[in-house]
Structures are given as C-alpha cells and as structure tokens.
C-alpha cells in the first residue's frame, strides 16, 4: 500500500509540473520576483506605529527618546518598502530596463512616501474628528482610533493612495485588500477621498477606483460606490467609471450609487437601499418609498404597517 501511494504522488507531481509548463499567467514559478504579501502586510502594520505613535508600537524597540524610536521605525519601513517597491517595479516593467534606473526610482518613491506622512496624518485627524462628531456611540478619540474599523480602513487607504499616486504597482492593492479582509470595507487605493470622511459600521462598503469623494462625507454599512457597467472590460480602464460625491453628502445603509457620470451634489442625502444611476442636485433628499410588511403564514395578512407616503426610509443603527 505505501508503494502505491508513493507512486501515485510521483505521478501527481509529474502531472502538475507538466501543467506548469503551459506558460499561462498562473504558471509563474519565480516567487522571489514578485512582491511579498506578508511583508507588505507587516509594512502596513508598521506604518500605523508612525501614524498613531501612542496606539500602535513595536515592543522590540527599547529606547528612551521618541526621536530615536521614530528613527528606528522609519528606517525599518524605508528599508522594507524600498525593497518591495523595487520588486514591484521590476516585475511590472520591461525586462531590459536598466537596473540602476529601477533602483533610483524606488528610492525616490520611498522618500516621497515618507515625506507625505505628515499630510496623511493631517487628513486622518479630520477623519477621527468626523467620527467623534457623527457617532453618538463614540465616547473618545482613543476609542475611535483603537477600535473603529472605519478609521482603520481609511488610514490604510490614505497610505495606499500615496503609493498609488506615485505609480507603484501591486503594493497599494495588497494593502487595500488587507484592510478589506480585516474590516469588510473595500476601498480601491485609486479612490480620491477628501477630509473629514466618516464611515459608520462599515461592513460591506465598496468604493471603486475612480470614485471621487469630497469633504465631510458620511456613509453607512453596505454602501456601494461602483461602476454602472463593466461589460467593456479592460477597455474601460482609463475611464471615469465610478461616481463623484460632493461635500457634506450623507449616504445611508444599503444604497448603491453607480456610474462615472453620476454626481451627488453638495449636501444631498441618499436614503437607505436607494439605487442611484443619475446625478442628484445639491441638497436633494433621495428616499425609497416605504414598504408594507406582510406575514403570509395561513394565507392571510396578520400584520400590516402603513407609513406616510412622503416619509423617508432611513435605516440607521
């Protein structure tokens, strides 16, 4: 019996190795030429120690001065990020491209990213304040920073968006998908998001690559800011496919706003479960007509709740 299993394993390995030789996109074997997802995830965690120095720390650093601790953290991030950016650039560019050009470009990108951190922190501070102002269940900034998935997802997005703007392939998407897996909030790193962005609850939110969001926007769980159609495939890559959300807009749970030509005007309110594919004028309230509740057991209605026809249905927890 062991010989049968052993021969079967050899045959299976031979069959799989033969399958690798077909030259498809899934057949690449040189794992060291591709960005390391685990390293990028750890890098993301290390970035939080700089963004929120009093909340996320590396216990391996034992120093007396904040400057010394920060210097160690920044050098660690710079080393790892530079290496991953080099791999990503090399992986995505022409084989014959000069190695010195890639090394120099990755170093410049790494330094530009580090220089952008104060601006990123400025934006994040407004996001924390927006959460405090918008959520009556938030009792302190410490609670918001330490436990709110919306702040976590926004922070990762703002960091990944810097790398996206600097033209780094692969890495920003790895970062955003890490935040997605941790929080249930899916924000493409290409989305442009203004200050004081408030995500409440957050689970199931999807924000597409070409979405533009203004300042002081509030969205709830289950909201989709997506493309109206993707049937064009990669031909749509360079086009504006996702909506524009102007300042001071509120979008309640379950709403879907779709299309690159769709603009939600300043101060508009989009009610729960609304499906919007056309632009909305500023300060407009969009709502779904309230439903009637029926209980069909025994073939008759046992409970029916009527609502005023003009009453908005906003489902908020």
Q: What sign results for the dihedral spanned by CA atoms 208, 91, 78, 166? A: negative
Q: Which CATH class is domain 25-184?
A: mainly alpha
Q: Per-residue pLDDT for 255 more than 80?
A: yes
DSSP-derived letter for residue 278 is S
313 pLDDT band, cuts 50/70/90, is very low
The lowest-confidence range among 98-102, 234-238, 273-277 is 234-238
- pLDDT at position 96 is 57
Exposure on the CB side of residue 224, measured as CA atoms within 13 A: 13
Tokens of 262: 């769709």
Assign domain 204-317 one CATH number from 1.10.3720.10, 2.160.10.10, 3.30.450.40, 3.40.50.2300: 2.160.10.10
85 pLDDT band, cuts 50/70/90, is very high
Is 245 buried (19+), middle (13-18) or exposed (0-12) by CB count in 10 A? buried
- The closest alpha carbon to 164, from 172, 156, 155, belongs to 172
- Tell which wins on pLDDT, 8 or 282: 282
Alpha-carbon distance of 27 to 188, in angstroms, equals 27
Residue extents of the structural domains in the chain: 25-184, 204-317
Contact status, residue 84 vs residue 39, Cβ threshold 8 Å: yes
- pLDDT at position 279 is 97
Average pLDDT (227-241) is 78
Alpha-carbon distance of 220 to 247, in angstroms, equals 16
Average pLDDT (219-229) is 94
Q: What sign results for the dihedral spanned by CA atoms 135, 137, 142, 148? A: negative
Tokens of 194: 């203004």
Name the pTM for this structure: 0.85
In sequence order, which residues have a C-beta less than 8 Å from that of residue 215 and are 6 or more positions away?
A: 194, 195, 196, 247, 248
71 pLDDT band, cuts 50/70/90, is confident
- Tell which wins on pLDDT, 204 or 228: 204
Average pLDDT (73-84) is 95
Alpha-carbon distance of 44 to 309, in angstroms, equals 49
98 pLDDT band, cuts 50/70/90, is confident
Mean pLDDT of the chain: 87
Whether 25-184 shares its CATH topology with 204-317 is answered no
- The closest alpha carbon to 227, from 190, 194, 202, 201, belongs to 190
- pLDDT at position 102 is 92
- pLDDT at position 87 is 93
42 pLDDT band, cuts 50/70/90, is very high
Q: 52: alpha, beta or left, given left = phi > 0 and alpha = psi -120 to 50?
A: beta
Q: Per-residue pLDDT for 299 more than 60?
A: no
**pLDDT, tens digit (0-9, with 9 covering 90-100), for 101-154:** 999 999 999 999 999 999 999 999 999 999 999 999 999 999 999 999 999 999
SS3 279: coil
191 pLDDT band, cuts 50/70/90, is very high
317 pLDDT band, cuts 50/70/90, is very low
Average pLDDT (264-278) is 96
């Amino acid at each position: 019996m062991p010989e049968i299993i052993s021969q079967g394993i050899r045959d299976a390995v031979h069959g799989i190795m033969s399958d690798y030789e077909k030259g498809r996109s899934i057949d690449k074997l040189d794992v060291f030429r591709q960005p390391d997802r685990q390293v990028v995830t750890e890098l993301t965690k290390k970035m939080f120690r700089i963004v929120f120095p009093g909340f996320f720390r590396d216990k391996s650093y034992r120093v007396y001065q904040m400057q010394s601790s920060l210097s160690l953290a920044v050098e660690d991030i710079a080393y790892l990020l530079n290496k991953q950016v080099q791999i990503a650039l090399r992986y995505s560019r022409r084989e014959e491209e000069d190695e010195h050009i890639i090394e120099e470009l990755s170093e410049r990108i790494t330094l530009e990213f580090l220089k952008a951190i104060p601006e990123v922190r400025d934006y994040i501070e407004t996001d924390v304040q927006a959460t405090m102002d918008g959520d009556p269940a938030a009792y302190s900034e410490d609670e918001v920073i330490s436990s709110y998935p919306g702040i976590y997802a926004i922070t990762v997005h703002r960091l990944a968006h810097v790398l996206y703007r600097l033209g780094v392939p692969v890495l920003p998407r790895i970062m955003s998908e890490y935040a997605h897996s941790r929080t249930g909030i899916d924000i493409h790193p290409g989305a442009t998001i203004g200050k004081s962005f408030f995500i409440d609850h957050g689970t199931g939110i999807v924000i597409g690559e070409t979405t533009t969001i203004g300042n002081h926007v509030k969205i709830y769980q289950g909201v989709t800011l997506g493309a109206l159609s993707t049937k064009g495939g990669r031909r749509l890559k360079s086009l504006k496919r996702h909506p524009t959300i102007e300042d001071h807009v509120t979008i309640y749970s379950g709403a879907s706003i779709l299309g690159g030509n769709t603009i939600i005007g300043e101060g508009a309110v989009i009610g729960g479960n609304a499906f919007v594919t056309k632009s909305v004028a500023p300060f407009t309230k969009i709502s779904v007509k309230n439903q009637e509740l029926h209980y069909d057991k025994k073939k008759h209605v046992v409970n029916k709740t009527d609502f005023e026809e003009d009453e908005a249905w906003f489902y908020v927890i």
